[in-house]
Amino acid sequence: MIERYNIPEIDEIWKNKYEVWLEVELAVLEVMHEDGKIPSDALERIKKKARVRPERIEEIEKETRHDVIAFLKQIEEEIGEDAKYLHRGLTSYDVVDTAISLMLLRTIEIIEKDLEKLLLVLKKRAEEEKYTVITGRTHGVHAEPTSLGLKFYSFYSEFLRAKDDLLRVKEIIRFGKLSGAVGNCAHTSPGFEKRVLEKLGLMPEPVSTQVVPRDRIARYLFTLTLIGCAVERAAYEIRHLARTEIGELEEPFLPGQRGSSAMPHKRNPIVCERLCGMARMLRSYLGVSLENISLWNERDISHSSTERIILPDASILADYMIRKLTWVIENMRINRERMRKNLDITRGLIYSQRVLVFLMEKGIPRDRAYTIVQENAKKTQRKDFLTCLLEDERVLEVATPEEIKSLFEPEYYIRWVDEIKRRVDG
């Protein structure tokens, strides 16, 4: 991941993969010791001496052209003759895949905490704005009044599902393997594998090949992609409502910030635009992870190079997006005056469905009522919708002017906000 968008806590997890490889190797040695296959003094010497030196590993790899062998040779240099116990009966991906599961789990813990912060911010905004009336839009066109708080509750509800997905995928990822070169435990045993993995907080892959099946990783990437899509949806809404013609929301604009090199007045929604672009990147990573599921026979290496990129980068990108959206939602500017003004742009047409329902309740057949409302709507280029209705004898035959006027109250459209909120809160 480029430094501009880096999340150091996650970056460190993936940069220190050799440390996690060593963690796996040491867990194997501990179970070997329990089985009497390695003396106590040898195990203690190994634990004391075994140190990862990334520069030396990279130097050895230039010759071996194999990173796990380079790692093992470097550890052997540290521990001397006790290296005879190291990596016994294992294949490279026993270590690599088990370590990947550990790194993914540690990454998920960070993402989970940041997702929780976003949920708190969204819920706070939703509560603050639940009675703020805003124009609802469908197809980009004014529809009916709604609540700004409901928009935030909608985002909140989606991220709650994302959190549930993340918790589920955490359990899907919690599998490692120490089953050898083709997954048949030829040089270990299923019991041995289970005990080692338990020490690491993992479970054995029920049926592995040389690798843990890649559908598990694809499910992780799919979860991150859904999180990215949720971020994108919120960012799109903010961008849309920040347009000059609308001006209802505005992402934070900091002191000293510049919007354009040419136009000093510009206050562009650059963070939300960035988040929308990043969502596209996340979706592209998902495609790669899906391609990685089908490997030749017990395994080929076509997935390996891509995972070195997509696993850390997608994880960092998703968490960066969560953090940035949290900042935007927490610090955004809400223009309630503009919202109220925009309600009147259509000269009352946003109340057309309420008028339609009212006329039907008065006994006018739906098709005829629809025609009456639509014909009056077409007249609003010259006068407002309410005036048109008050001048229509067909309407006045079934309703008093006071009844008609009562249909033009925006608060009517937010009367169920608290009930909807209770459904979200469970």
Q: Could you give the 3-state DSSP secondary structure of residue 111?
A: helix
Ramachandran category for residue 201: left, alpha or beta (phi over 0 → left; psi -120 to 50 → alpha):
left
Catalytic residue among 40, 139, 265, 305: 139
Buried b (16+ CB within 10 A) or exposed e, 387-413: ebbbebeebeeebeeeebeebbebeeb
Tell me the two tokens of residue 308.
């070195």
Distance CA 291, CA 308 (A): 15
| Residue 139 is among the residues annotated as catalytic for this protein | yes
- Give, in order, the Cα–Cα distances in Å from 269 to each of 2, 20, 274, 275: 22, 40, 9, 10
Task: Give every CB contact of residue 129 below 8 A, 6+ residues apart in sequence.
Answer: 147, 148, 149, 152, 334
Query: DSSP letter at 383?
Result: S
| Residue 66 is among the residues annotated as catalytic for this protein | no
Query: DSSP letter at 261?
Result: S
Catalytic residue among 142, 179, 240, 260: 260
Q: How many CB atoms are located within 10 Å of the residue 229 CB?
A: 14
Show which residues are catalytic.
139, 260
